[in-house]
Amino acid sequence: TLRLIYTTTAVQRKNVGASGPEKYTEEFIKKQIEEFNLGKRHLANMMGEDPETFTQEGIDRAIAYLFPSGLFDKRARPIMKHPSEIFPEQRKIQWGEDGRPFHFLFYTGKQSYYSLMHETYEKFLNVQRYQDQLAAQDLPPQKEKKNLAGSRWLTKIELEEMLLEKLSDDDYSRFIQLLQKLMTLPCGDTEEKYIEKFLREVPAQLKKVAIEPLKYDERGVAFSTGEGARKTARATAVVYDNGSGKMTVNGIDILHYFPVLQDREQLLFPFQFLGRVGKHDTVCTVSGGGRSSQAGAIRLASAKALRSFVTEKEVEFMRQAGLLTYDPRVKERKKPGQEGARRKFTWKKR
């Protein structure tokens, strides 16, 4: 038996659009939209606001005021949203009254997937023809290389939602391979617009955490604080400027608190990496955990504190050296039927 430990919310969402033929008719949804708009105007009148400029936030506030609910689950409380958000997008009926399907690829089973593949391949052939034309006349122009790092392809689930059809892993990989092939050729502007539909932006990891500005002491010395944790140890570090490299932990000097060389190496790692070994004074407090996890917690705390003293590029280098990530490794639990987390009981033949 197998069990997945790390999942993202994307995996847990169900793709209702691809599940079957439509459950709501078009007229039903149109009626719902009319009712929603009428209800919006009534609400606006009740709350005393202008019905024309009544936003979704206003609706949420009004509902929370008129129907107060003490339920814990937010999804169980009364909501009033536009029907397109409540009723998931579904495939409309794909055949007419006489039973004849509209799309020419209906009987393949995955009509939107195959039509998409046909379109993409057509673009590919166009680009090749264009290349051949250029080769006949002059040298082909150099394509400006797009930044591949800042964007990613659509995931399988996103593609399924776009097409409203279920796909297999094989289909998805074939489509992505075709797109990649198209990317590698020196292609024209039209193709770029078509490809952009299938690209999603990936923000740089640095921007996700904001760097705090430096704070100033009563004596005028700049300092900054950082917090770190590792296993069960929690540490806070205050790094002062214009220091001589002294480090104090819970009021005790590091030579006495950490008799092992490895721990002291870990404490000095961020400073040594940035080349600022003798320039900062540090005062730390730490509790919990053991000898090594306390050292790791203080290392993370001082690295976080040093971010405010240093340029963005150096922060990026620190992140790539693994100094700024929280270590998620903890002791694995013991399972029933086994002696430890992984060790099984001795196998006895009888």
Residues that bind another protein (CB under 8 A): 2-7, 147-150, 202-206, 260-262, 265-266, 268-269, 272-273, 292, 295-296, 300, 314, 316-317, 319-323, 325-330
The minimum distance between CB 316 and another protein, in angstroms, equals 7
The minimum distance between CB 231 and another protein, in angstroms, equals 11
The minimum distance between CB 187 and another protein, in angstroms, equals 20
C-beta closer to another protein: residue 238 or 295:
295
Q: With 0-12 CB in 10 A as exposed, 13-18 as middle and 19+ as buried, what is 68?
A: exposed
The minimum distance between CB 262 and another protein, in angstroms, equals 7
Q: From the DSSP assignment, how many helices (H) and strands (E) are in the chain? A: 12, 8
Residue 202 CB partners (closer than 8 Å, separation 6+):
149, 150, 151, 152
C-beta closer to another protein: residue 39 or 340:
340
Give the CB-side neighbour count of residue 303, counting CA atoms within 13 A.
Answer: 28
C-beta closer to another protein: residue 94 or 272:
272
The minimum distance between CB 271 and another protein, in angstroms, equals 10
Q: With 0-12 CB in 10 A as exposed, 13-18 as middle and 19+ as buried, what is 292?
A: middle
The minimum distance between CB 72 and another protein, in angstroms, equals 25
In this structure, the number of other CB atoms found within 10 A of the CB of residue 329 comes to 7
Phi and psi at residue 262, in whole multiples of 5°? -60, -40
Phi and psi at residue 277, in whole multiples of 5°? -70, -45
The minimum distance between CB 234 and another protein, in angstroms, equals 16
C-beta closer to another protein: residue 166 or 264:
264
In this structure, the number of other CB atoms found within 10 A of the CB of residue 306 comes to 25
Q: What are the b/e assignments for 189-204, b being 16+ CB within 10 Å?
A: eebeeebeebbeeeee
C-beta closer to another protein: residue 108 or 325:
325
C-beta closer to another protein: residue 157 or 321:
321
C-beta closer to another protein: residue 13 or 41:
13
Q: With 0-12 CB in 10 A as exposed, 13-18 as middle and 19+ as buried, what is 253?
A: exposed
